[in-house]
Structure 1
């Protein structure tokens, strides 16, 4: 299956390749980014190449898709977004993302999530989208709930980072709820 390229008003979601390693390293070596990411900050650019290779292997095995977020106006690589734990058979996945802090609070992640959800539900035929956050990650929690994700509970000791296990907050968005909220958003735009 060819890698799916997605477009939004301001972003192009593309395959992450080795040429993106310096930008990915810049993002994932930043402790502000990885604080709630579930991994320690990268210390060597070579580690970014390993992550990119794992994105490719995960896509090739049909267990996930990770897109690079690139601004359409400048072509700047600003982060990644993806479907983790993808199961086409079970019609489910988990969404995850990270963004360069220079682009925080500009609506890029919400825009990318909308494109990925549309692809997941309409093209891949998924039924359930999950998301897991650290308990303290209020920015991601607010974003997910604004998009329509519902909190399901706490996963005890689910995330491992910094040599310690951390509890995670799990959210989900089911296809019927996504379709209803998307229909409502379209009605609001036309009024």
Structure 2
């Protein structure tokens, strides 16, 4: 399967290769990004290279798709968005996203997530797309609700990070919800 490139008004969602190692490192070495990500900050650029390799491997194995988010106007790589736990046979996946803090609160995450939802429901024929967030990550919870996700509940002790287990909230949007939202 060829990697799908997606376009929005302001963004290009592209395949992430090793030329973006520094960009990935710059994002995932920041505590404010990884605080709610379920992982520790990167300490060396090799970690970014390994992450990029895992993106490619998971795509080849049809277990995930991760796009790089590039702002067209300035040609800047600002984050990633995509599907984790992709299960085409059961028509479901989980969405995840991260944006460099310099680009927070500009609507880029929302725009990228909407494009990926459209791809998931229309091209991959998914029926359910879930999302997992920390309860403290109010910005992410707000984004998901604004786009049409529904909060399903609390997963106790779900994410292990920084030597202890953390609770997580689970959200989902179904294809039928998404179709309704688009027709309003």
Q: TM-score, normalised by structure 1?
A: 0.95
Name the structure 1 match of 2:5.
5
Name the structure 2 match of 1:70.
70
Aligned pairs, how many? 184
User: In structure 2, how many angstroms separate the alpha carbons of the residues matched to 1:154 and 1:108?
Assistant: 27
Aligned pair 1:55/2:48, yes or no?
no
Name the structure 2 match of 1:127.
127
User: In structure 2, how many angstroms separate the alpha carbons of the residues matched to 1:73 and 1:2?
Assistant: 26
User: In structure 1, how many angstroms separate the alpha carbons of the residues matched to 2:17 and 2:7?
Assistant: 18
Unaligned runs of 5+ in 1: 185-191
Aligned pair 1:183/2:166, yes or no?
no
User: In structure 1, how many angstroms separate the alpha carbons of the residues matched to 2:104 and 2:15?
Assistant: 22
User: In structure 1, how many angstroms separate the alpha carbons of the residues matched to 2:83 and 2:17?
Assistant: 17
Name the structure 1 match of 2:30.
30
Q: Counterparts in 2 of 1:110-189, with a 5 A limit?
A: 110-184=110-184
User: In structure 1, how many angstroms separate the alpha carbons of the residues matched to 2:178 and 2:118?
Assistant: 9
Name the structure 1 match of 2:97.
97
Q: TM-score, normalised by structure 2?
A: 0.99
- SS across alignment from 1:12: strand
Q: Deviations over 1:44-77 (max 9, x none)?
A: 0010000000000100000010000011112110
Q: Deviations over 1:148-173 (max 9, x none)?
A: 10011111111111111111100000
Question: Which stretches of structure 1, 4 residues or more, deviate above 6 A after TM superposition?
Answer: none
After TM superposition, give the deviation of residue 183 of structure 1 in Å: 1.1
User: In structure 2, how many angstroms separate the alpha carbons of the residues matched to 1:162 and 1:98?
Assistant: 19
After TM superposition, give the deviation of residue 144 of structure 1 in Å: 0.3
User: In structure 2, how many angstroms separate the alpha carbons of the residues matched to 1:111 and 1:86?
Assistant: 21
User: In structure 2, how many angstroms separate the alpha carbons of the residues matched to 1:171 and 1:83?
Assistant: 14
Alpha carbon RMSD of aligned pairs, Å?
A: 0.5
User: In structure 2, how many angstroms separate the alpha carbons of the residues matched to 1:183 and 1:170?
Assistant: 25
After TM superposition, give the deviation of residue 182 of structure 1 in Å: 1.1
Unaligned runs of 5+ in 2: none
Name the structure 2 match of 1:46.
46
User: In structure 2, how many angstroms separate the alpha carbons of the residues matched to 1:160 and 1:16?
Assistant: 26
